[in-house]
Structure 1
């Protein structure tokens, strides 16, 4: 191999090492989540009030969503298509940290809260709702771009 070819190959190898190190240096995108506005389920004045009806998200960005139950009634929050289109890092509830591949629902039988840490991986519009209470206005949408 000639000198010029060795320099080119060596330069390319050095570039690849720096490029791969730079991408690793950016860090784990799941570790610095953006805090979303809390999703509060019901109030003393209106047990069927949702604090948020829409969340705008981006694929590849880490988020933390706190879901808070007022305890005014039983709430079963579901978002089947959304839950299938995210990377779920963990759920924190009470003194527990739950690590799972996916969610089916968050059910609150009384007052309480849970924090969901996730990264959207698929764009689209995904409905969320409290099962059986949709006609009372307990539904919203995740818009992922």
Structure 2
């Protein structure tokens, strides 16, 4: 660290000690370790076909608990029974998106507004939450049918 020539040795030492104490006293603000592989979250399923039922408005799970600064990967699986447009505006603006993988393609960009599935398919989001809070997610146009959920970031 260098100081202006007008700084005396005593003042420079005091400034160095003050700077060092501030740096050491500041607690880390995130719980994650980005050097580790991302945690795989439970797959988000949109629509479901069983042997006995056609559940086109099915969505599971409806809640995810996350930590800021921790790396995650979330696979979204759409059944193709309906057109599904997954939206989470508050959440998408509160995460760092590393990439999205879909159809054998990696998409790297600064933001995400929606994942739209016009037919059966899957997409995987790799991300790090950077802001805490409760963020709703939903399938556009199907909210009244129960296709809503919540990302809870601590």
Q: Do the aligned partners of residues 52 and 41 (structure 1) sit closer, same or farther apart at CA in structure 2, a change above 3 Å counting?
A: same
Among 38, 44, 49, the alignment partner of 1:39 is: 44
Instruction: Indicate conservation of the 8 Å contact 1:48/1:138, yes or no.
Output: yes
Ranges in structure 1 where 5+ consecutive residues have no aligned partner: 1-27
**Root mean square deviation of aligned Cα:** 2.0
| Residue 133 of structure 2: aligned partner | 124
Identify which of 55, 59, 62 aligns with 1:53: 62
Is the contact between residue 64 and residue 118 of structure 1 (CA under 8 Å) also seen in structure 2? yes
The equivalent residue for 1:111 is 120
Shift of 1:31: 5.8
Q: Which runs of 5+ in 2 are unaligned?
A: 1-32
Give matches, 1:4-19, under 5 Å. none
Native 8 Å contact 1:30 1:89 kept in 2: no
Q: Aligned equivalents of 2:80 and 2:63: distance in 1?
A: 22
Correspondence for 2:98: 89
TM-score for the superposition, normalised by structure 1: 0.80
Change (3 A) 1:108 1:123: same
Alpha carbons 1:79, 1:126 under 8 Å: kept: yes
